[in-house]
Amino acid sequence: MPCRPLVAVALAAAIGMPAALSAQSPLHAAIEQGAAAVAPKVVTWRRDFHQHPELSNREVRTSGIVAAHLRSLGIEVRTGVAKTGVVGVLRGGKPGPVVALRADMDALPVTEEVDVPYRSRVRTEFGGQEVGVMHACGHDLHTASLMGAAEVLAGMRANLPGTVVFLFQPAEEGAPPGERGGASVMIEEGALDAPKVDAIFGLHVFSGQRVGDVLYRPNGIMASSDTWDMIVHGRQTHGALPWGGVDPIVAASQVVVALQSIVSRQVDLITSPVVVTVGTFQGGVRFNIIPDSVVLSGTIRTFDPAIRLQVQERLKRTAEQVAASSGARAEFSIRSPGNPVTFNDPALTERMRTTLERVAGPGRARLGVTTTTAEDFAHYQQRIPGMFVFVGATPEGVDLESVGRNHSPRFVADEGALPVSVRLLANLAVDYLAGGR
């Protein structure tokens, strides 16, 4: 899909206003003017990040660009937070509360199949194998948009009634095995404490919605997520003599099939949606050798804490008992910490609803549905009130059912989402600060 040229993006930022500048407050007018001015830079940053993606906890180049930009704006900068995270503090010229804006920086081990001039050709090692690396979830847009919002807000710092904290976070997609990272580590290392943040906002571009649409929802908007790992142990033997050992591939295959009954037969889906997915299945090195073991991993998505624990327990029981029925042995474990439900504070969401409607324009800010995707933004929301929204990334005229979804090698986020995201982040910060605690 061809992306919009810079001129078109800048024009969208300049004329895609929900109301005439004369009808806006001076702060809102300054945001609109600043967002239009920074639009070409935002596109350039996004394309650069897209062409040079970095996996979780490896965002060295990206965080360096972010930190240099914030310093050029006179923003206080702290680097190396949660390995590669960047925290910027912009102190306004007037007293007031503290609000945080967050963007994630990491890419995914996906080989890009989108034919654009700035496509990623990066390859690296992940999980013991060579993989392509791609911004297949739009984090390049998030980072560029928050850099743009930082420039807009820095340009009006004298009139800001409070402080804005910019959180550029690594490892939203999860730290590599054996490492820790993401929002929980950002919090541990003081990202919300110096200064103490009163509320936080974040957004995510989504290919299943039109450019210009903003979707919000009070209470739970995204599921909790847990990552599970399993090793099924058999006994290695010749492929021609399977009775001479225990085949872990067959045993693990039976486990995979049995896991499907947990959602369909063991959980009350009227109460809450549940998803159990097997994402990896690795074993064997040669066609005529039955291996000693196979390794599997996957994800659990739930919305209810009690059901979350129930599903974890039933996965463990099913894996162990089904494997044992074949003479194999299953080791099942849950990685910690998982992500809780992304929970939008109801009072904060209602308070900021008028901001969403003003920025998006008539009929473009809508109540969304819950989704079984997940976000580690939820960790921030467990500490302070927060709101997370979706920004559409598919232009008019493109079939929403045929587009590559987030995490697909064919994922495309239209750059028309950039000016919307910049204006949205800046307006949420200003309106929260102007409204006081």
> Where exactly are the structural domains of the chain?
6-223+341-435, 224-334
Closest residue by Cα to residue 3 from 36, 50, 35? 50
Closest residue by Cα to residue 43 from 72, 73, 6? 6
Q: In whole angstroms, give the CA distance from residue 380 to residue 435.
A: 21
Q: How many CB atoms lie within 10 A of CB 8?
A: 14
| 318, 224 contact by CB (below 8 A) | no
Average pLDDT over residues 382-388: 98
The overall average pLDDT reported for the chain is: 93
Query: What 3-state class would DSSP assign to 221?
Result: strand
Q: In whole angstroms, give the CA distance from residue 90 to residue 256.
A: 50
| Model confidence at 335: pLDDT above 50 | yes
Place of tokens 């097997």: 278
Catalytic machinery residues = 106, 172
What CATH number has the domain spanning 6-223+341-435?
3.40.630.10
Q: What is the pLDDT of residues 227-260, one digit of tens each?
A: 999 999 999 999 999 999 999 999 999 999 999 9
In angstroms, how far apart are the furthest CA atoms of the chain? 83
Q: What is the pLDDT of residues 94-142, one digit of tens each?
A: 999 999 999 999 999 999 999 999 999 999 999 888 999 999 999 999 9
Q: What is the pLDDT of residues 26-57, one digit of tens each?
A: 999 999 999 999 999 999 999 999 999 999 99
Between 151 and 271, the more confident residue is 151
- What one-letter code names the amino acid at 39? A
Q: What is the pLDDT of residue 271?
A: 86
Q: What is the pLDDT of residue 437?
A: 63
| Model confidence at 336: pLDDT above 90 | no
| Model confidence at 17: pLDDT above 50 | no
Asked, colleague to colleague, whether 6-223+341-435 and 224-334 share their fold, the answer is no
Q: What is the pLDDT of residue 177?
A: 83
Q: What is the pLDDT of residue 312?
A: 97
| Model confidence at 301: pLDDT above 70 | yes
| 198, 317 contact by CB (below 8 A) | no
- What angle is formed at CA 217 by the lines to CA 211 and CA 221, rounded to 5 degrees? 95
* Chain center to CA of 185: 16
Q: What is the pLDDT of residue 3?
A: 43
Q: What would be the CATH architecture of the domain defined by 224-334?
A: 2-Layer Sandwich (3.30)
Closest residue by Cα to residue 114 from 248, 262, 227, 3? 3
Place of tokens 């307006």: 427
Query: What 3-state class would DSSP assign to 104?
Result: strand
Q: What is the pLDDT of residue 127?
A: 82
| Model confidence at 1: pLDDT above 80 | no
Determine which of 248-252, 256-260, 305-309, 336-340 has the lowest per-residue pLDDT on average: 336-340
| Model confidence at 290: pLDDT above 50 | yes
Q: Provide the pairing of β-strand 365-367 with 214-216.
A: parallel
